Chains A and B, each alone.
Chain A
Amino acid sequence: MLGFLTARQAGLDDPLRLRRAESTRRVLSLTLNPDREVDRIHGNGINTIDIEVIEGRYMLSGGADGVIVIYDLENYSGNLQYACKAVCTVGRSNRYVHKFSVETVQWYPYDTGMFVSSSFDKTMKVWDTETLKPAEVFEFEGNVYSHHLSPIARKHSLIAVGTKEPKIQLCDLKSGSRIHVLQGHKAEVLSVRWSPRYEHILATASADSKVKVWDVRRASGCLFTLDQHNGDKSKGASEAVNTAHNGRVNGLCFTGDGLYLLTTGTDDRMRLWNSATGENTLVNYGKVSNESRKKLQFTVSRGSSPELVFVPCESSVAAYALHTGELVTMLRGHYNNVDCCEFHPDYQELYSGGKDCNILAWIPALRAADVEEESKSANQAAADQSTVSTAFQDAWSSDED
C-alpha cells in the first residue's frame, strides 16, 4: 500500500493503478461486517434493490409485499458502526402502493427526484421521490417482470418493460405512453437491460431460453439472438438453435463498460457473451444454482482488476472472476434464497436482498492496522472493544486439564 502511495506521489504510476489495486483489495475482502446494518423494514422477501449513481447515497428496495423503501447509505456519523436508515417508505398504508410483489425498482439515472417501479399487479409506476406519489402509471396486460431505463441515454427516455406477454414494451417518459413494441420472443420476458455503452442497444432475456439484442431504432427485428453453441449446429439439437440457455433465462447484466453481457438461466449456468458480436465466450463458471422463476438481479464489480461477478446462488452470493470463471468467494449470510444484489461502485460495497427479509451489506474488511500504529492504538482498542472481545476469547474451564 505504501509502495503504491509513494509511486503515485512520485508520479511513477498511472493514477488508475493505485485506485485499481486498492479497489481490488477491497472487493476481494468483502465480508459481512457487524459495523454496517440495513434497517429491517420489509416484512417479506426482497426482490430488487437499486443504488443511485449520482451520489451513490440512496438505495431503493422493493419487497414481495409491494413495499418500496429508500435507504440512506451514507454514514455521516463518524462512527464505524452505522445502520442504514430508511429515509422513506411506500408502505402498505400508502394509497399508491403496489398491490402485489414489486419486481423491479430503478432510480431515474439523472435525478434522484424520480424512480420507477414495476410490479406483479401489472403496473409500472413512475414515482416522485419528494411526495411519494406516482407521477405516471403504466398498465399492462400481464405481470411485469422487469423494466429498465437506459443509464446513459441522452436522446431518448425509454423504459423497456418485460411482461408476461412475449412482446417487449417501450414506454416513453416524455409522452407518458407506450410507443413501441418489440416482437420476437415466444414466452414471457424475464429481464431487460439497456447497454451502458450504446444508448439504443437493448438486451432481453425470455423464458423461451433466448436472449435477443435489439437496436430500438430498427423496428424490423432484433440485431441478433445469442446462441450458446455459437452457430455450431452439430452440438445442439434443432430446437436448441439460437438459445442462450437450456432453461429459462432470468438474469441479464452488462459489464460496466458494456462490452460483455452476462446471462443466467435455470439450467444452473452463467454465460458471458461478447455484446458486440453475440459470441459466447465459453467461460465456464461451473454450476450457478438458480431456481428462481422470476427475474434474478446480479451485478458486476467495477474498477477492480479482475472484475468480479456477484451472482445470487441459493442462500449465498457467489463471486466469480469475470473472465476466468473462477469462484473467488461465497458470501454466506442469508438464511433463505437471495434474489438480488447490487454493487456500490464508489465504496466497493455489495448489498444483497433475499427472501429472509434481510438486506445485507457486504463491506470490505478494514486493512489490518500497520505495525507502527499498533503501539498507540493498542490501548484504545483494548478499551473500545473490551465488551466485544470477551466474546472472541476462548473460555476453556480449568477442570478439563
Chain B
Amino acid sequence: MELSRRDRLSELVEQLTTSGEPQLNQASMKEIKKICKVSNDCIDHVYHSVISQLNQEHAEVRLSAFQIASELFSRSHHFRTLLVDNFQEFLELTVETDSEQPLPPPKEVARKLRSLAIQTVQSWQTSYGAAYKKLALGYHFLKQVKKVDFQDAEARTVAERSREVDRQRKMQRIYKERVEAASKDMEESYQEIEATLTEMESCMSLLFPEFDVIDIQTTNSSPPSSQPANECLSVEEQPCCSKDLKDDGREGMMQKKESREEKKREEEEEDDNDNEEDEEEEEEEEESGEEEEGESLDEHLFIRNSGLISHAYSLDLNLSPGLRVKETEDNEAVVSTVKDLHRLITNKHLPAVQGWVQVFTKSGAEQQLLRRALDLKRSLEATLQKHQELHIDYKTRVRKVMKAASDGEEDDDDDFDEVPEKEGYEPHIPEHLRAEYGLDPSPSTSTAAVTNTPPAQRPAAPPPLSSSSSSSRRLKRLTEEDQDPTCAAATLRHLKQNLPLPKQSSSSSSGPSSSQSSSDQKAVGAPVVPFGLDLYYWGQEQPNAGKIVKMSSQHQFWVPIDVDEEVENKELLAESRSRYISFPGSFTPVNHYCSASLGNGKLCQRQDRLKCPFHGPIIPRDQEGRPCRQEDRLREEQEKRRKSEEQPDWRDAELMRDIEAATGENLGSDRVGKKGKGRKKKYPNLSDLKQGANTARSRLEKKVLNKSSMRRIAEVMAKADRRKHDKFSNQFNYALQ
C-alpha cells in the first residue's frame, strides 16, 4: 500500500514537472494533495522528489516543481519545515541567489520562475515569517543582501537596476556630446552651406531665367507691342542659356507663367514665317474682318493684339513636360560649377545635415537647433529638386584636363604610352609602325636599308604621325642607339642588314596580299609541328645520333678502366629519326539515350557513351525500354531476380512484427525496421534545450568542426609534419619540434 502510494506520487510529480506547461494540471495536483494528506511520510517523499526536480537543469521543470512546492507549502506544516530547513538551496534554485548558479534555460521561463518565486517568498513571509525564523532570514537576505525589490514587477535585482541607470546615464552623456559636436559642426558649416546654396541658386538662374509673378505682372501691364521685344531682350540678356533652351521647353515655362492669350500670340509671332497655316489664318482673318466689321472694339483689339481671328481659334502646342538644358561651350563653366555644387551637396552637405537632424531628434535637443537643421535640409533638398527639374545634359567631358596639359607641354613620353608591348624579332612590320621601329617608312626604302643606307639620311622622311620636333629628336636618339651594340636598336639593325626579308621576295614576285592568302590556305590543312632535331636533320644522316657519351671521370689521373666512353642506344636513335604525332580525333557528342524503363513509365534519359551508372551497358532497347536482343533481356531478368532475393518480401518489418506477436518468437523485426530511427524523446512536452539556435555560426560549426573534416585536417597536418620530419629529421632545429 505504502509502496504503491510512493510510486504513484513519484509518477505524479514527474508527470507534472515534465508537462512543460505554465500551469499545473489541477487533477494531478489534487491527487498529490490527497495522497499527501494521509501521512508525513508521503510529504517527505513528495518533498524529496520536488527538490530533485528543482535541481534539474531545465527552467520549465523547475517552474512546475516550484508550483507544486508552493501548493504544498500553504497546506502542510511538515512540508514547510522541510522546505525552510533547506531554504538556501531552494532560493538558489528558484531565485538565483548564487550568481554562479544561474537559472537554466529557456530564458523566458526562467524569468517567470524567478519573479513568481520572489512574489511567493514575499507572501510566505507575510503569512509564515513570524513562525519560521529561517524563512524570515531568507526574506531579509533577499531584501537586504540581494537587494531584491519585492514591489518591482520585473523583480530585478539592484544590480540590474543600477546597470540600467548607468546605461541610461551613459547614453545621455553620449547624446549630449553628439549634440554638442553636431551643433558646433553646424555652426561651422552653416556659412558654407549657405554659400553653396546661393551659388547654386545663381548658377541655376543663369542657366535658366526666373520668371517671377512680378515679371508677369509687369509684362502684362506693359504695352503688348513691346512685350515680345522685352521678352527677347530678357532672354538675350542671359549670356549663355537662351540658345540652349529647346523651344518646347521654353514654351512649357511660358505656359506656367503667362496668360494663355499672350502665349498664343507669341506662338503666332514665332511661327508665322514658316507655317503654311499662317497664310490661311491670314486669309481667314481677312474674311472674318470683313464679316465682323461692325463688331465691338474689343474684338479688334484682340485681333490686333493677338493676330488671331477669333477667340475660338485653337492651337495645338506640343509641350514637353520637363525642361532641358544642354551643355554647350557657352555655358560650360556654369554647368560645370552646377555639377560640382550638386556633387558637393549630395555627397557632403546633405548627409551631414541629415546626420544632425538624426542626432537632434534622437537626443531630444533644443527645438531651435532642430528647426535650423530641418530648414537647412529642406532648402538643400529643394535645390536638388530644382536641379533635377532642369535636366541638364552634361557633356561627356573625358580627359579634357589631360588634353589641355598635353597641349601645353611637349612630352614625348606620351607617344610611347600607347605602344603595345612587343617581344622578339618581328620580320613583318606594318607600314605605319615602321617609323616607330626606327625603320624606313616604306618597303622600297627598306630595300635601300638593306643596302646599307646610312642612318643619318633617315630624318629626311619624317613619319607623319607625331609632331615633327619630337620625332626628329627621337630619331636622333635612335641613331645614337644604333651605334651602341648593347641596345635593341643595334640588334635590329644588324638583323635587318643580315637577314634577307622573306616578305620582300614574295612581294616582289606577286604582291603581298595574294601570296599571303595562298600560304594561309595551305596552313589550314597542315598540322603545326614543333621544331625538333628530326626536322633539323631532315633527310640527312645524323652523325652521332643515339650515342650516349659517358662523362669520363673529372679527376686528373684517376680514370676507371672498364668504361665505354660511348654507348649506342637504339631507342634514342629511333627517336631522333622519327616523330610521333598524336591524333586525338574530334569530339562527337553522344546521341543515344540509356532508355531503360524507370518503372514509372518513363525511360532513362541519361546520355552516357558506353555504360549507364544505373542501368549498366547501353544496349539497344525498344519503345518500352526492353532490350531488343535476347541475351540482354535474359541478363536483365537475372539481375532483377538477384536483387529481389537480397531483400525478400517477408522481411517487411510490419509483417514480421505481426508474425512475432502471433507466434511469440523473435524473428528480429526490430533489427530490420529500426534502422536509423532515433530514440524517442523522453519528455516531448518540454522545450528542447539541446536544440541549438539555428544561427550562421552553428551551421558553420557543424560544417567546419564535424568529426570527419577534423580528422581529415588532422591527417593532412600530420602528413605535412611527417614529411618535414622525414626530410629534415637530421637537422636539430626540426628534430626539436
Contacts and interface: CB of A to CB of B under 8 A. Distances in A.
B145 A336 contact: yes
B97 interface: yes
A315 interface: yes
A238 interface: no
Interface of A: 32-34, 40, 43, 315, 332-336, 356-358, 360, 387-388, 391-397, 399-401
A396 B33 contact: yes
A391 B130 contact: yes
Given A33-B133, A358-B140, A391-B132, 10 more contacts: A32-B134, A34-B132, A34-B136, A332-B85, A335-B91, A335-B137, A336-B141, A358-B141, A394-B76, A400-B33
Contacts of B249: none
Nearest to B30: A400
Contact of A392 (B34, B88, B131, B136): B131
A43 B77 CA distance: 33
B128 interface: yes
Nearest to A385: B131
Nearest to B43: A394
Nearest to A37: B133
Nearest to B35: A400
Contacts of A43: 144
B75 interface: yes
B138 interface: yes
B88 A335 contact: yes
A360 B140 CA distance: 13
A131 B130 CA distance: 37
A395 B36 CA distance: 12
B91 A393 contact: no
Contact of B75 (A34, A315, A360, A394): A394
B144 A391 contact: no
Interface of B: 30, 33-34, 37, 74-78, 85-88, 91, 97, 127-128, 130-134, 136-138, 140-141, 144-145
Contact of B133 (A32, A334, A335, A401): A32
Given A40-B144, A335-B97, A396-B76, A387 B130 contact: yes
A354 B732 CA distance: 61
A356 B145 contact: yes
A360 B137 contact: yes
Majority SS at the chain B contact face: helix
A34 B37 contact: no
8 contacts: A332-B85, A335-B97, A335-B137, A336-B145, A387-B130, A391-B128, A391-B132, A400-B37
Given A315-B88, A335-B88, A391-B132, A396 B37 contact: yes
Contacts of A400: 30, 33-34, 37
Contacts of B88: 315, 332, 334-335
B140 A395 contact: no
A401 B34 contact: yes
B77 A393 contact: yes
A373 B381 CA distance: 99
B130 A357 contact: no
A392 B77 CA distance: 5
Contact of B141 (A33, A356, A388): A356
Nearest to A395: B75
A333 B89 CA distance: 11
A115 to B, nearest CB: 27
Contact of A333 (B30, B74, B137, B144): B137
Contacts of A32: 133-134, 137
- 3 pairs of A and B residues whose beta carbons are closest in the complex: A391-B131, A335-B141, A34-B133
B44 to A, nearest CB: 14
Contact of A396 (B75, B144, B145): B75
A391 B74 CA distance: 9
B131 A388 contact: yes
A34 B130 contact: yes
Nearest to A399: B30
A118 B133 CA distance: 33
A399 B74 CA distance: 15
Of B74, B75, B133, which is in contact with the most chain A CB atoms at under 10 Å from its CB? B133
Given A34-B130, A388-B131, A357 B145 contact: yes
A357 B144 contact: yes
Given A332-B88, A396-B76, A400-B37, A391 B127 contact: yes
Nearest to A387: B130
B159 to A, nearest CB: 15
Contact of B77 (A315, A333, A358, A394): A394
A358 to B, nearest CB: 6
A397 B36 CA distance: 12
Of A33, A357, A392, which is in contact with the most chain B CB atoms at under 10 Å from its CB? A392
A356 B33 CA distance: 35
Contacts of B138: 335
Contacts of A388: 130-131
Nearest to B134: A333
Nearest to A401: B34
B29 to A, nearest CB: 9
B47 to A, nearest CB: 14
Contacts of A333: 133-134, 137
B105 to A, nearest CB: 25
Contacts of B87: 335
A393 B30 CA distance: 19
Contacts of B33: 396, 400
Contacts of A40: 140, 144
A394 B42 CA distance: 14
A392 B145 CA distance: 28
Nearest to B144: A357
A380 B30 CA distance: 37
Nearest to B31: A400
Contacts of A334: 88
A216 to B, nearest CB: 41
Given A333-B137, A395-B74, A401-B34, A34 B131 contact: yes
Contacts of A34: 130-133, 136
Contacts of A358: 137, 140-141
A312 to B, nearest CB: 14
Of B91, B127, B128, B134, which is in contact with the most chain A CB atoms at under 10 Å from its CB? B134
A333 to B, nearest CB: 6
Contacts of A397: 75
Contacts of A393: 77
A32 B81 CA distance: 13
Contacts of B128: 391
A5 B308 CA distance: 145
Contacts of B145: 335-336, 356-357
Contacts of A336: 141, 145
A358 B127 CA distance: 22
A387 B127 CA distance: 11
Contacts of A394: 75-78
A356 B139 CA distance: 12
